């Protein structure tokens, strides 16, 4: 099969998957007249963190050989099944991710669960703590991350690089958080020895972030567990929230949920955020 034919088949498949997905299913507004059968190209671009021009070129067969990272983003945004995701990689001429690589695909069952729990701020991270999914309450709480790229979406990189965030920690909390993050990342490297992206992340952190290197070289092992977080929001003030980290069986995805004690001031502020959403909210980047 020629590259041109492959590109056209890839474009047709992407267009078909886009057409079948309604905006309401992915939490986008549906107001106004719509000519598209499903998602518009700009909506898919937003969900996949890609440019509209690139989506257009892919669908028209003018862009060839999309990277595995692009394919992963498209598969998540289009909510593809395991078989469809595999077909996407085949059409793009890329090897299907094997068992030695970090899973980033959100299974349909977990996707339905996330949709049904949409009232609480939720985020989904892979085993290396790359942000791969979030809901509107999460974006309202922490800032819309849709414009972030690459390392900016990695929780561990953001923390050790000192990038801005809305979580406030005491020195003791920060110490426990850093130890848990480094230990969790070490566990991931043992579980996914063939993941080149993970190896690169660890190498770059060790070379450029002395605090990370010191913890890594200490041999610390552990996992990021549930706890409490103090979040400072620029519009509604400070919220004291419970932060629960759930690991999805079979996928190793981390689902992070934030809740407030019923009847508390923080619960009222979460409710206010649910009303005002992310309108006029400044993005601060993902912080768990």
pLDDT digits (tens, 9 = 90+) for 144-172: 888 888 899 999 999 999 999 999 999 99
pLDDT at 109: 78
Residue 267 pLDDT exceeds 80? yes
pLDDT band of residue 36 (cuts 50, 70, 90) is low
pLDDT at 257: 93
Roughly what angle, to the nearest 10 degrees, separates helices 210-217 and 196-208? 110
pLDDT at 282: 46
Helix %, strand %, coil % of the chain (to 5) = 50, 10, 40
pLDDT at 223: 66
> Please, where in the chain does CATH 3.30.450.180 lie?
108-276
- Gyration radius of the chain over CA positions: 20
Mean pLDDT of 15-25: 86
Query: What CATH fold (topology level) applies to the domain 108-276?
Result: Beta-Lactamase (3.30.450)
Q: Which two tokens stand for residue 132?
A: 């791969």
- Let me know how long the chain is: 288
Residue 31 pLDDT exceeds 70? no
Query: What CATH fold (topology level) applies to the domain 3-91?
Result: 434 Repressor (Amino-terminal Domain) (1.10.260)
- From the number of C-beta atoms within 10 Å of its C-beta (0-12, 13-18, 19+), residue 288 rates as buried
Please name the residues in contact with 77: beta carbons below 8 A apart, sequence gap of 6 or more: 26, 44, 47, 48
Residue 276 pLDDT exceeds 60? yes
Single pTM value for the model: 0.75
Q: Tell me the C-alpha distance between 189 and 138, whole Å.
A: 28
> What confidence tens digit (pLDDT) does each residue in 193-234 have?
888 889 999 999 999 999 999 999 998 776 666 788 999 999
């Amino acid at each position: 099969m020629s590259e041109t034919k492959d590109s056209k088949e890839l474009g047709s498949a992407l267009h078909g998957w886009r057409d079948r997905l309604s905006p309401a299913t992915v939490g986008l507004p549906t107001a106004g007249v719509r000519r598209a059968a499903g998602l518009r190209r700009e909506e898919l671009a937003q969900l996949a963190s890609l440019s509209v021009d690139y989506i257009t070129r892919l669908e028209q067969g003018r862009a060839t050989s999309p990277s595995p990272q692009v394919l992963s983003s498209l598969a998540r945004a289009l909510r593809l099944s395991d078989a469809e995701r595999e077909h996407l990689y085949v059409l793009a001429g890329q090897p299907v991710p094997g068992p030695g690589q970090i899973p980033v695909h959100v299974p349909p069952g977990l996707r339905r669960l996330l949709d049904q729990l949409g009232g609480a701020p939720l985020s989904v991270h892979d085993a290396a703590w790359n942000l791969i999914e979030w809901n509107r309450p999460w974006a309202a709480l922490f800032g819309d991350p849709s414009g972030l790229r690459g390392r900016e979406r990695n929780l561990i990189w953001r923390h050790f690089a000192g990038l801005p965030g809305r979580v406030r920690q005491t020195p003791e909390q920060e110490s426990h958080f850093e130890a848990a993050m480094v230990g969790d990342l070490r566990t991931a490297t043992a579980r996914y020895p063939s993941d080149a992206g993970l190896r690169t992340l660890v190498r770059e952190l060790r070379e450029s972030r002395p605090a990370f290197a010191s913890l890594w070289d200490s041999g610390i092992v552990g996992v990021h567990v549930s706890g409490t977080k103090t979040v400072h929001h620029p519009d509604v003030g400070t919220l004291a929230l419970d932060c629960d980290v759930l690991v999805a069986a079979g996928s190793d995805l981390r689902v992070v949920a934030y809740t407030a004690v019923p009847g508390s001031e923080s619960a009222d502020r979460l409710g206010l955020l649910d009303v005002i959403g992310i309108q006029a909210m400044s993005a601060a980047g993902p912080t768990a």
